[in-house]
Amino acid sequence: MTDQTAPLIDPFQRAISYLRVSVTDRCDFRCVYCMSENMTFLPKKELLTLEELDRMCSTFVRMGVEKLRITGGEPLVRREILTFFQNMSRHLDSGALKELTLTTNGSQLEKFAQPLFDAGVRRINVSLDTLDEKKFADITRWGRLPQVMRGIDAAQKAGLRIKINAVALKGFNEDELFTMAEWCAARDMDLTFIEVMPMGDIGNENRLGQYWKLSDLRETLAEQYTLVDLAERTGGPARYVRLEETGQKIGFITPLTHNFCESCNRVRLTCTGELYMCLGQEDMADLRAPLRDFPTDDRALENAIRAAIALKPKGHDFDYSRQTVEGQVSRHMSHTGG
Ligand code: SAM
Ligand code: SF4
Protein backbone atom coordinates (compact mmCIF):
# COMPACT_ATOMS: atom_id res chain seq x y z
CA MET A 1 0.00 0.00 0.00
CA THR A 2 1.54 3.34 -1.02
CA ASP A 3 1.47 6.34 1.28
CA GLN A 4 -1.17 8.54 -0.32
CA THR A 5 0.18 11.66 1.34
CA ALA A 6 3.82 11.19 0.30
CA PRO A 7 5.03 14.03 -1.91
CA LEU A 8 5.23 13.47 -5.64
CA ILE A 9 8.83 12.67 -6.52
CA ASP A 10 9.77 11.49 -9.99
CA PRO A 11 12.44 8.88 -10.82
CA PHE A 12 15.06 11.63 -11.14
CA GLN A 13 14.35 12.93 -7.61
CA ARG A 14 12.52 16.00 -8.87
CA ALA A 15 9.64 17.03 -6.60
CA ILE A 16 6.53 17.85 -8.58
CA SER A 17 5.13 21.01 -7.04
CA TYR A 18 3.77 22.88 -10.04
CA LEU A 19 0.69 21.94 -12.06
CA ARG A 20 -0.38 23.78 -15.17
CA VAL A 21 -3.97 23.16 -16.10
CA SER A 22 -5.57 23.87 -19.44
CA VAL A 23 -9.26 24.46 -18.71
CA THR A 24 -10.40 24.81 -22.30
CA ASP A 25 -9.07 24.28 -25.81
CA ARG A 26 -11.12 27.22 -27.09
CA CYS A 27 -9.96 30.74 -27.59
CA ASP A 28 -11.25 34.08 -28.82
CA PHE A 29 -7.97 34.67 -30.70
CA ARG A 30 -6.32 32.66 -33.47
CA CYS A 31 -2.63 33.46 -33.03
CA VAL A 32 -0.84 32.30 -36.15
CA TYR A 33 1.83 30.31 -34.28
CA CYS A 34 -0.72 28.59 -32.07
CA MET A 35 -3.91 27.83 -33.98
CA SER A 36 -5.17 27.52 -37.48
CA GLU A 37 -8.00 29.78 -38.54
CA ASN A 38 -10.53 26.98 -38.64
CA MET A 39 -10.05 24.95 -35.52
CA THR A 40 -12.17 21.98 -34.61
CA PHE A 41 -12.72 22.06 -30.88
CA LEU A 42 -13.49 19.19 -28.58
CA PRO A 43 -17.06 18.16 -27.87
CA LYS A 44 -18.21 19.30 -24.44
CA LYS A 45 -18.52 15.80 -22.99
CA GLU A 46 -14.81 15.26 -23.50
CA LEU A 47 -13.97 18.17 -21.24
CA LEU A 48 -13.60 17.86 -17.52
CA THR A 49 -16.47 19.68 -15.85
CA LEU A 50 -15.60 22.45 -13.42
CA GLU A 51 -16.39 20.07 -10.57
CA GLU A 52 -14.06 17.47 -12.06
CA LEU A 53 -11.34 20.09 -12.53
CA ASP A 54 -11.76 21.04 -8.90
CA ARG A 55 -11.45 17.41 -7.78
CA MET A 56 -8.44 16.89 -10.00
CA CYS A 57 -6.60 20.02 -8.84
CA SER A 58 -7.50 19.44 -5.20
CA THR A 59 -6.03 15.93 -5.43
CA PHE A 60 -2.77 17.32 -6.81
CA VAL A 61 -2.69 19.94 -4.05
CA ARG A 62 -3.20 17.21 -1.48
CA MET A 63 -0.25 15.40 -3.07
CA GLY A 64 2.10 18.35 -2.75
CA VAL A 65 1.39 20.71 -5.64
CA GLU A 66 1.92 24.26 -4.36
CA LYS A 67 1.54 26.26 -7.51
CA LEU A 68 -1.36 26.08 -9.91
CA ARG A 69 -1.32 27.89 -13.23
CA ILE A 70 -4.59 27.99 -15.16
CA THR A 71 -4.22 28.26 -18.91
CA GLY A 72 -5.82 27.11 -22.14
CA GLY A 73 -6.86 27.95 -24.88
CA GLU A 74 -8.01 31.12 -23.29
CA PRO A 75 -8.94 30.24 -19.71
CA LEU A 76 -11.18 33.26 -19.24
CA VAL A 77 -13.52 32.27 -22.07
CA ARG A 78 -14.53 29.09 -20.27
CA ARG A 79 -18.03 29.54 -18.88
CA GLU A 80 -18.19 29.94 -15.08
CA ILE A 81 -14.41 29.79 -14.78
CA LEU A 82 -14.52 32.40 -12.05
CA THR A 83 -16.38 29.95 -9.83
CA PHE A 84 -13.49 27.55 -10.28
CA PHE A 85 -10.98 30.22 -9.17
CA GLN A 86 -13.17 31.16 -6.24
CA ASN A 87 -13.39 27.52 -5.18
CA MET A 88 -9.62 26.99 -5.55
CA SER A 89 -8.97 29.91 -3.21
CA ARG A 90 -9.86 27.62 -0.30
CA HIS A 91 -6.49 25.92 -0.85
CA LEU A 92 -4.77 29.31 -0.62
CA ASP A 93 -6.65 29.98 2.60
CA SER A 94 -5.58 26.63 4.05
CA GLY A 95 -1.94 27.34 3.13
CA ALA A 96 -1.62 24.16 1.05
CA LEU A 97 -1.47 26.16 -2.16
CA LYS A 98 1.11 28.95 -2.31
CA GLU A 99 0.12 30.42 -5.64
CA LEU A 100 -2.92 30.45 -7.89
CA THR A 101 -2.23 32.13 -11.18
CA LEU A 102 -3.12 32.18 -14.85
CA THR A 103 -1.80 32.84 -18.32
CA THR A 104 -4.19 34.84 -20.44
CA ASN A 105 -4.39 36.77 -23.68
CA GLY A 106 -5.92 39.62 -21.69
CA SER A 107 -9.09 39.96 -23.74
CA GLN A 108 -11.44 39.31 -20.81
CA LEU A 109 -9.40 40.94 -18.06
CA GLU A 110 -11.38 44.12 -17.94
CA LYS A 111 -14.26 42.10 -16.55
CA PHE A 112 -12.34 39.49 -14.55
CA ALA A 113 -9.34 41.29 -13.03
CA GLN A 114 -10.99 42.40 -9.80
CA PRO A 115 -12.84 39.13 -9.09
CA LEU A 116 -9.62 37.21 -9.80
CA PHE A 117 -7.78 39.36 -7.28
CA ASP A 118 -10.60 38.79 -4.82
CA ALA A 119 -10.17 35.03 -5.34
CA GLY A 120 -6.54 35.29 -4.26
CA VAL A 121 -4.76 35.63 -7.60
CA ARG A 122 -1.83 38.03 -7.22
CA ARG A 123 0.27 37.62 -10.35
CA ILE A 124 -0.74 36.90 -13.93
CA ASN A 125 0.99 36.38 -17.24
CA VAL A 126 -0.43 38.29 -20.17
CA SER A 127 0.65 37.26 -23.65
CA LEU A 128 1.34 40.22 -25.90
CA ASP A 129 3.67 40.16 -28.89
CA THR A 130 3.37 43.70 -30.21
CA LEU A 131 2.21 47.18 -29.23
CA ASP A 132 1.11 47.99 -32.75
CA GLU A 133 -2.63 47.66 -33.35
CA LYS A 134 -2.36 46.52 -36.93
CA LYS A 135 0.36 43.97 -36.19
CA PHE A 136 -1.60 42.74 -33.19
CA ALA A 137 -4.64 42.09 -35.36
CA ASP A 138 -2.41 40.30 -37.89
CA ILE A 139 -0.68 38.00 -35.42
CA THR A 140 -3.77 37.15 -33.33
CA ARG A 141 -6.13 37.25 -36.35
CA TRP A 142 -9.17 37.87 -34.12
CA GLY A 143 -7.69 39.92 -31.29
CA ARG A 144 -7.95 43.68 -30.83
CA LEU A 145 -5.22 45.53 -28.98
CA PRO A 146 -7.34 48.25 -27.26
CA GLN A 147 -9.41 45.55 -25.56
CA VAL A 148 -6.25 43.91 -24.18
CA MET A 149 -4.90 47.29 -23.08
CA ARG A 150 -8.11 47.95 -21.14
CA GLY A 151 -7.66 44.52 -19.56
CA ILE A 152 -4.06 45.30 -18.54
CA ASP A 153 -5.20 48.63 -17.05
CA ALA A 154 -7.94 46.89 -15.09
CA ALA A 155 -5.53 44.24 -13.84
CA GLN A 156 -3.04 46.79 -12.56
CA LYS A 157 -5.82 48.80 -10.98
CA ALA A 158 -7.02 45.67 -9.18
CA GLY A 159 -3.51 45.13 -7.82
CA LEU A 160 -2.46 42.20 -9.99
CA ARG A 161 1.23 42.03 -10.81
CA ILE A 162 1.72 41.43 -14.53
CA LYS A 163 4.37 39.64 -16.52
CA ILE A 164 4.16 40.19 -20.25
CA ASN A 165 5.04 37.16 -22.38
CA ALA A 166 6.06 37.95 -25.93
CA VAL A 167 6.80 35.34 -28.56
CA ALA A 168 9.95 36.46 -30.37
CA LEU A 169 9.39 36.53 -34.11
CA LYS A 170 12.04 37.69 -36.52
CA GLY A 171 10.75 40.27 -38.94
CA PHE A 172 7.65 40.77 -36.82
CA ASN A 173 8.48 42.22 -33.42
CA GLU A 174 12.25 42.46 -33.78
CA ASP A 175 11.93 46.21 -34.21
CA GLU A 176 9.87 46.52 -31.01
CA LEU A 177 12.40 45.00 -28.65
CA PHE A 178 13.33 48.28 -26.99
CA THR A 179 9.86 49.81 -27.22
CA MET A 180 8.37 46.82 -25.44
CA ALA A 181 11.09 46.76 -22.79
CA GLU A 182 10.58 50.48 -22.12
CA TRP A 183 6.79 50.16 -22.08
CA CYS A 184 6.97 47.33 -19.55
CA ALA A 185 9.50 49.23 -17.41
CA ALA A 186 7.29 52.33 -17.40
CA ARG A 187 4.34 50.26 -16.21
CA ASP A 188 6.39 48.22 -13.72
CA MET A 189 5.73 44.94 -15.51
CA ASP A 190 8.20 42.12 -16.03
CA LEU A 191 8.83 40.99 -19.56
CA THR A 192 9.71 37.56 -20.88
CA PHE A 193 10.48 36.55 -24.42
CA ILE A 194 9.53 33.10 -25.63
CA GLU A 195 11.27 31.33 -28.45
CA VAL A 196 8.69 30.05 -30.92
CA MET A 197 8.17 26.30 -30.76
CA PRO A 198 7.34 23.93 -33.61
CA MET A 199 3.88 23.05 -32.39
CA GLY A 200 0.80 21.81 -34.13
CA ASP A 201 0.07 21.18 -37.77
CA ILE A 202 -0.53 24.81 -38.51
CA GLY A 203 1.34 24.89 -41.77
CA ASN A 204 1.26 28.67 -42.11
CA GLU A 205 3.29 29.62 -39.08
CA ASN A 206 5.84 31.34 -41.25
CA ARG A 207 3.27 33.70 -42.68
CA LEU A 208 4.20 36.31 -40.10
CA GLY A 209 7.66 36.41 -38.69
CA GLN A 210 10.13 33.62 -38.22
CA TYR A 211 12.19 31.87 -35.62
CA TRP A 212 14.23 34.45 -33.74
CA LYS A 213 16.94 32.95 -31.60
CA LEU A 214 16.81 34.40 -28.12
CA SER A 215 20.60 34.45 -27.96
CA ASP A 216 20.45 36.91 -30.89
CA LEU A 217 17.71 38.91 -29.16
CA ARG A 218 19.88 39.03 -26.06
CA GLU A 219 22.84 40.33 -28.03
CA THR A 220 20.72 43.12 -29.47
CA LEU A 221 19.46 44.02 -26.01
CA ALA A 222 23.07 44.14 -24.80
CA GLU A 223 23.83 46.84 -27.38
CA GLN A 224 21.85 49.33 -25.30
CA TYR A 225 21.83 47.86 -21.81
CA THR A 226 24.20 46.14 -19.43
CA LEU A 227 22.72 42.70 -18.77
CA VAL A 228 23.31 41.13 -15.38
CA ASP A 229 22.55 37.41 -15.25
CA LEU A 230 20.30 36.46 -12.36
CA ALA A 231 20.67 33.17 -10.55
CA GLU A 232 16.91 33.01 -10.07
CA ARG A 233 15.34 29.85 -11.49
CA THR A 234 11.75 28.78 -11.49
CA GLY A 235 12.25 25.11 -12.27
CA GLY A 236 11.21 25.96 -15.79
CA PRO A 237 12.88 26.96 -19.03
CA ALA A 238 13.16 30.64 -18.13
CA ARG A 239 16.42 32.50 -17.48
CA TYR A 240 16.46 36.05 -16.21
CA VAL A 241 18.67 39.09 -16.55
CA ARG A 242 18.47 42.48 -14.94
CA LEU A 243 19.07 45.60 -17.01
CA GLU A 244 21.56 47.53 -14.92
CA GLU A 245 20.45 50.93 -16.19
CA THR A 246 16.74 50.51 -15.35
CA GLY A 247 16.67 47.67 -12.82
CA GLN A 248 14.12 45.91 -15.00
CA LYS A 249 13.97 42.12 -15.09
CA ILE A 250 13.79 40.41 -18.47
CA GLY A 251 13.21 36.70 -18.97
CA PHE A 252 14.07 34.37 -21.80
CA ILE A 253 12.21 31.12 -22.35
CA THR A 254 14.01 28.79 -24.70
CA PRO A 255 11.97 25.60 -24.65
CA LEU A 256 14.06 24.01 -27.40
CA THR A 257 17.14 23.73 -25.24
CA HIS A 258 17.64 20.93 -22.76
CA ASN A 259 19.27 23.00 -20.08
CA PHE A 260 16.28 23.19 -17.78
CA CYS A 261 15.01 19.61 -17.71
CA GLU A 262 17.09 18.59 -14.70
CA SER A 263 15.25 21.03 -12.47
CA CYS A 264 11.80 20.52 -14.00
CA ASN A 265 9.16 20.59 -11.26
CA ARG A 266 6.03 20.69 -13.38
CA VAL A 267 3.45 18.59 -15.14
CA ARG A 268 0.57 19.64 -17.39
CA LEU A 269 -3.06 18.63 -17.32
CA THR A 270 -5.20 19.10 -20.41
CA CYS A 271 -8.86 20.05 -20.38
CA THR A 272 -9.74 16.42 -21.11
CA GLY A 273 -7.79 15.10 -18.13
CA GLU A 274 -4.64 13.94 -19.86
CA LEU A 275 -1.49 14.44 -17.86
CA TYR A 276 1.59 15.36 -19.87
CA MET A 277 4.74 14.78 -17.91
CA CYS A 278 6.88 16.75 -20.36
CA LEU A 279 5.93 19.49 -22.81
CA GLY A 280 8.25 18.10 -25.43
CA GLN A 281 7.04 14.51 -25.45
CA GLU A 282 3.91 12.72 -26.51
CA ASP A 283 3.73 10.45 -23.45
CA MET A 284 0.68 11.10 -21.35
CA ALA A 285 -1.54 9.45 -18.80
CA ASP A 286 -5.32 9.50 -18.83
CA LEU A 287 -6.57 10.74 -15.49
CA ARG A 288 -10.17 11.24 -16.57
CA ALA A 289 -11.02 7.54 -16.50
CA PRO A 290 -9.99 6.97 -12.86
CA LEU A 291 -11.71 10.23 -11.94
CA ARG A 292 -15.01 9.38 -13.66
CA ASP A 293 -15.00 5.68 -12.83
CA PHE A 294 -14.81 6.42 -9.10
CA PRO A 295 -16.86 9.55 -8.49
CA THR A 296 -16.61 9.47 -4.71
CA ASP A 297 -13.27 7.81 -4.11
CA ASP A 298 -9.97 9.46 -5.07
CA ARG A 299 -7.70 6.46 -4.52
CA ALA A 300 -7.69 5.29 -8.14
CA LEU A 301 -6.94 8.84 -9.26
CA GLU A 302 -4.10 9.18 -6.76
CA ASN A 303 -2.62 5.88 -7.91
CA ALA A 304 -2.88 6.95 -11.55
CA ILE A 305 -1.12 10.23 -10.73
CA ARG A 306 1.69 8.40 -8.91
CA ALA A 307 2.06 5.95 -11.77
CA ALA A 308 2.25 8.83 -14.25
CA ILE A 309 4.85 10.76 -12.27
CA ALA A 310 6.94 7.58 -12.09
CA LEU A 311 7.14 7.81 -15.89
CA LYS A 312 8.20 11.46 -16.10
CA PRO A 313 11.05 11.45 -18.61
CA LYS A 314 14.45 12.87 -17.85
CA GLY A 315 14.24 15.42 -20.64
CA HIS A 316 12.39 16.37 -23.75
CA ASP A 317 12.66 15.34 -27.31
CA PHE A 318 12.35 18.35 -29.53
CA ASP A 319 15.52 17.60 -31.40
CA TYR A 320 15.60 13.82 -31.45
CA SER A 321 11.97 12.98 -31.52
CA ARG A 322 10.92 9.38 -31.12
CA GLN A 323 7.26 9.45 -31.98
CA THR A 324 7.06 12.61 -33.97
CA VAL A 325 8.30 13.94 -37.25
CA GLU A 326 11.49 16.03 -37.07
CA GLY A 327 10.92 16.97 -33.48
CA GLN A 328 7.54 18.48 -34.21
CA VAL A 329 5.08 17.83 -31.47
CA SER A 330 1.83 17.35 -33.27
CA ARG A 331 -0.51 18.70 -30.63
CA HIS A 332 -1.31 22.38 -30.42
CA MET A 333 -0.05 24.61 -27.61
CA SER A 334 -3.68 25.36 -26.83
CA HIS A 335 -4.08 21.68 -25.98
CA THR A 336 -1.38 21.45 -23.34
CA GLY A 337 -1.58 25.11 -22.44
CA GLY A 338 2.03 26.06 -23.12
N1 SAM B 1 -4.50 32.00 -24.32
C2 SAM B 1 -3.57 32.23 -23.28
C3 SAM B 1 -2.44 33.11 -23.75
O4 SAM B 1 -2.30 33.31 -24.95
O5 SAM B 1 -1.72 33.59 -22.88
C6 SAM B 1 -3.01 30.98 -22.64
C7 SAM B 1 -2.66 29.83 -23.54
S8 SAM B 1 -1.35 30.12 -24.69
C9 SAM B 1 -1.25 28.57 -25.53
C10 SAM B 1 0.07 30.14 -23.62
C11 SAM B 1 1.33 30.74 -24.20
O12 SAM B 1 1.81 29.91 -25.22
C13 SAM B 1 1.17 32.13 -24.79
O14 SAM B 1 2.10 32.99 -24.18
C15 SAM B 1 1.52 31.93 -26.24
O16 SAM B 1 2.15 33.05 -26.80
C17 SAM B 1 2.42 30.73 -26.18
N18 SAM B 1 2.50 30.00 -27.45
C19 SAM B 1 1.50 29.52 -28.22
N20 SAM B 1 1.99 28.87 -29.30
C21 SAM B 1 3.34 28.94 -29.20
C22 SAM B 1 4.41 28.46 -29.99
N23 SAM B 1 4.20 27.78 -31.12
N24 SAM B 1 5.68 28.71 -29.57
C25 SAM B 1 5.92 29.40 -28.43
N26 SAM B 1 4.96 29.88 -27.63
C27 SAM B 1 3.68 29.66 -28.02
FE1 SF4 C 1 -5.39 31.75 -28.02
FE2 SF4 C 1 -3.32 31.96 -26.41
FE3 SF4 C 1 -3.22 30.35 -28.56
FE4 SF4 C 1 -3.27 32.95 -28.93
S5 SF4 C 1 -1.66 31.79 -27.88
S6 SF4 C 1 -4.54 31.44 -30.01
S7 SF4 C 1 -4.50 33.64 -27.28
S8 SF4 C 1 -4.50 30.10 -26.81
- Number of domains forming the structure of the chain: 1
Question: Percentage of the chain surpassing pLDDT 90?
Answer: 72
Q: Which residue puts its alpha carbon closest to atom 4 of ligand 2? A: 31
Domain, as residue range, for 193 = 18-336
CA nearest 250: which of 211, 224, 215, 218?
218
Q: What separation in angstroms does the CA of 125 have from each of 173, 192, 311, 312?
A: 19, 10, 29, 26
Q: From the alpha carbon of 334, which atom of ligand 2 is closest?
A: 8
Question: Which sign does the torsion angle of CA 126, 80, 53, 97 carry?
Answer: positive
Strands 266-269 and 274-276: antiparallel
For residue 27, which ligand has an atom nearest its CA?
Answer: 2
Residue 8 included in any domain: no
Q: Tell me the CATH number at 108.
A: 3.20.20.70
Q: Rounded to the nearest 5°, which phi and psi values hold at 154?
A: -65, -40
Taking only the tens place, the pLDDT of each residue in 210-223 is: 889 999 999 999 99
Residue 298 included in any domain: yes
For residue 30, which ligand has an atom nearest its CA?
Answer: 2
Asked whether residue 328 carries a pLDDT value surpassing 70, the answer given is no
Taking only the tens place, the pLDDT of each residue in 302-317 is: 999 999 998 877 776 5
Asked whether residue 32 carries a pLDDT value surpassing 60, the answer given is yes
Testing ligand 1's pocket by substitution, the residue of 25, 74, 103, 124 carrying the most ligand atoms inside 8 A of its CB is 103
More confident residue, 262 or 288: 288
Testing ligand 1's pocket by substitution, the residue of 167, 207, 266 carrying the most ligand atoms inside 8 A of its CB is 167
**Average pLDDT value over all residues in the chain:** 89
The predicted structure's pLDDT at residue 1 = 44
Residue 2 included in any domain: no
Query: 188 C-alpha vs ligand 1 centroid, how far in Å?
Result: 22
Asked whether residue 338 carries a pLDDT value surpassing 90, the answer given is no
E-strand spans in the chain? 18-22, 67-71, 99-104, 123-127, 161-170, 190-195, 210-211, 227-230, 238-243, 249-253, 266-269, 274-276, 284-286
When mean pLDDT is compared over 105-119, 269-283, 304-318, the highest value belongs to 105-119
Query: 103 C-alpha vs ligand 2 centroid, how far in Å?
Result: 10
